[in-house]
Structure 1
């Protein structure tokens, strides 16, 4: 793409931010339309896999991310009675690899600060329609924003615009969601492990170390609690009953919520399962969860959004025309994503549902299977994002794994966080 394009991006989440940075650096004139009047991340914490780390490395942001994030060596899941369900260790795939627990706020601030070229950001603009043939947007006040060579729809899993670009082959909400918050890490012993505990598939709690963020030096944990969607909007939640439920699964995790008005101050998360036969039409293209929303069971949402942004940039570099670039982008990303939707759809009911028999089979078989060499390798490939389709491997950039050993390591010492329910509530809703 030799001629700079005028590009509109709808949505300033991870995918939209990364696309804005990468495309602006290539000389394109980028304008972002974000419906929120005040900028900020949505969600508490996440696990950045090696594939996502490689994109930040390409952007020159991985050093800073590592200084804020927590290096994760393994994912360990067990029943509330202590029976191991899964034990996946990055070193068993490659001793140089690790996960990086990050606060959403940390990544948001790093990406926002990195967007310096041709920065035009329209806050408080809710886009309600896209003219894919003319490259125009219509906002909630009826104003038309036109003249774009490319429109990137990156407005998330609950996208209101995806159907304007392409009809969904599947678009349905999951019946289970989650409650999230950030809690002070303190002397939490499992500083390099994503830990989960289960009672069948009906109750699940997770604790992920996520480090600090630029405006908050307190090391934190991201707490996750599985909840049926029907309970998320209840206003009559029995606080003590909720605490007893969490304590039954994991009393040590509940203790980390002292000083937080749980569950009232916890953020809510809802998930969708969305696939499209096509991701682009005319001058418009889908990116991130707007193109391929799935449950967070595989923890790949942020990673896939970053890879989408990078692949779109690369396709625009490689092709002379926008239509062929969009075809190239979709072809590349579909080849990587094809198996992830299947596994996400298949695994989610084993961890978030009322299927007790399926959960019992999970408890009996998952850990033994994960110790078999072939199965272990496949599971680790899926975890790290390096499975491409069903049989191939997604190749990390040449030399990247060696670079990981030279990156700075954050030293997150316990910092006493103020016990202020209002402050922690604000953190939880980020």
Structure 2
């Protein structure tokens, strides 16, 4: 175990929350700075992969997650005429594996309950600067905080502290975004599947079971609709009814789920960035989560990567007394895993979100056959499950964790 540190965490999203829990448990003195006046989840739902689930198991939070999440065994995508484009089952990799669909509000509540923040959570404190020593942080009100032995930037894909690391190779906004909302699950029949429907690469609709959240026992679906960022204004001007009619034409069952959507403000907008860093830290400032490696949501790895980052940084600080040596070990461990996901995410995005119809036609013809080639399906399943490590490696999953997950994966669908 390394020495006790004074640590500032900038941002109270998944990465910041997980680090607050882990580092406080290890005896470090942690202060968290969150820009929102009333911290809460951003977004509708997501898919926890075996990689992220193992991180939560290591945090002793897996039972709470399983109590609220929805077991997902299959990832299926098709065209409106019913032609399968993607059909992946976790059992094809290992019968003990599954994903867990979860509401962002549920994970936020569970992580928040696991950290006794006391007066260590500073709200309405957007950090805008770090001093030259990289030991003090300044909020938007001009107040300085510190000194700290370590400053951890978990302030998301649009991180204001990323530039301070001085290692940015690429940082750009994707031209495509999405509309999101939570819907009652009701009698939706695909209770253990992520379902998507594609119109070339120009339109994509998705429905993911995401279970319940603390204080709300109604099971829900996370809905998303892909669209260009520049199309948000036109969608607003068009009004709700034409859009709902279009969904009814493309996917009548999805339209039925949207019966409770009566105003456009019930749908949240999301945009995404692609940020590639040559390095993730400088001196005592380190990037974690989307601040270090933001990418498009095509592989659904954002939350999972944030949890893995938090575990890796905790372990590095345990192993090394010297902070900079610990950060170097953290960077080496996580970059070896993250780079492949950034690569595939960047190349897959035009296949599912673009106006390149020929790319979509090639996808519809080739995606399934490639998945049946020797070695191809296993690689695709490992990438989708978050367990591919580099080109040829595998992220190790602990036998005890697999035993715990198997009991869930083999349970009849609820």
- For normalisation by structure 1, the TM-score amounts to 0.93
CA RMSD of aligned residues (A): 1.7
Q: Secondary structure at the match of 1:179?
A: strand
> Residue 30 of structure 1 contacts residue 119 of structure 1 at CA under 8 Å; is this kept in 2?
no
In the TM superposition, what is the alpha-carbon distance from 1:408 to its structure 2 partner?
9.9
The residue that corresponds to 1:417 in the other structure is: none
Matched, 1:37 2:37: yes
Q: Distance in 1 between matches of 2:411 and 2:382?
A: 26
> Residue 106 of structure 2 contacts residue 214 of structure 2 at CA under 8 Å; is this kept in 1?
yes
The residue that corresponds to 2:120 in the other structure is: 120
The residue that corresponds to 1:255 in the other structure is: 256
The residue that corresponds to 2:389 in the other structure is: 388
Alignment of 1:116-265 (within 5 A): 116=116, 120-131=120-131, 133-234=133-234, 235-265=236-266
Q: Secondary structure at the match of 2:191?
A: coil
Q: Distance in 2 between matches of 1:401 and 1:132?
A: 46
> Residue 68 of structure 2 contacts residue 102 of structure 2 at CA under 8 Å; is this kept in 1?
yes
> Residue 63 of structure 1 contacts residue 408 of structure 1 at CA under 8 Å; is this kept in 2?
no
List, as ranges, runs of 4+ consecutive aligned residues in structure 1 with deviation greater than 3 Å: 406-413
In the TM superposition, what is the alpha-carbon distance from 1:231 to its structure 2 partner?
1.9
Q: For residues 350 and 331 of structure 1, do their structure 2 counterparts lie closer, same or farther at Cα, with a shift above 3 Å needed?
A: same
Q: Distance in 2 between matches of 1:102 and 1:226?
A: 20
Q: For residues 330 and 366 of structure 1, do their structure 2 counterparts lie closer, same or farther at Cα, with a shift above 3 Å needed?
A: same
The residue that corresponds to 2:398 in the other structure is: 397
In the TM superposition, what is the alpha-carbon distance from 1:119 to its structure 2 partner?
6.1
Q: Distance in 2 between matches of 1:118 and 1:310?
A: 23
The residue that corresponds to 1:70 in the other structure is: 70
- For normalisation by structure 2, the TM-score amounts to 0.97
In the TM superposition, what is the alpha-carbon distance from 1:232 to its structure 2 partner?
2.3
Q: For residues 147 and 52 of structure 1, do their structure 2 counterparts lie closer, same or farther at Cα, with a shift above 3 Å needed?
A: same
The residue that corresponds to 1:421 in the other structure is: none
Stretch of structure 1 that moved more, 205-214 or 243-252: 243-252
In the TM superposition, what is the alpha-carbon distance from 1:409 to its structure 2 partner?
9.3
In the TM superposition, what is the alpha-carbon distance from 1:168 to its structure 2 partner?
1.3
Q: Secondary structure at the match of 2:286?
A: strand
> Residue 240 of structure 2 contacts residue 264 of structure 2 at CA under 8 Å; is this kept in 1?
yes
Q: Secondary structure at the match of 2:12?
A: coil
Q: For residues 192 and 178 of structure 1, do their structure 2 counterparts lie closer, same or farther at Cα, with a shift above 3 Å needed?
A: same
Q: Distance in 2 between matches of 1:188 and 1:407?
A: 20
1:376-412 residue CA offsets vs partner (Å, 9 max, x unmatched)? 0000000111100111111112432122134599999
Q: Secondary structure at the match of 1:2?
A: coil
In the TM superposition, what is the alpha-carbon distance from 1:238 to its structure 2 partner?
2.5
Q: Which segments of 5 or more consecutive residues in structure 2 lack a partner in the other structure?
A: none
The residue that corresponds to 1:343 in the other structure is: 344
The residue that corresponds to 1:56 in the other structure is: 56
Q: For residues 267 and 81 of structure 1, do their structure 2 counterparts lie closer, same or farther at Cα, with a shift above 3 Å needed?
A: same
> Residue 280 of structure 1 contacts residue 326 of structure 1 at CA under 8 Å; is this kept in 2?
yes
Q: Secondary structure at the match of 2:27?
A: coil
Q: Distance in 1 between matches of 2:42 and 2:65?
A: 18
Alignment of 1:270-349 (within 5 A): 270-349=271-350
Q: Distance in 1 between matches of 2:203 and 2:35?
A: 34
Alignment of 1:76-95 (within 5 A): 76-95=76-95
Q: For residues 409 and 24 of structure 1, do their structure 2 counterparts lie closer, same or farther at Cα, with a shift above 3 Å needed?
A: farther
Q: Distance in 1 between matches of 2:111 and 2:410?
A: 20
In the TM superposition, what is the alpha-carbon distance from 1:39 to its structure 2 partner?
1.5
Q: For residues 243 and 128 of structure 1, do their structure 2 counterparts lie closer, same or farther at Cα, with a shift above 3 Å needed?
A: same
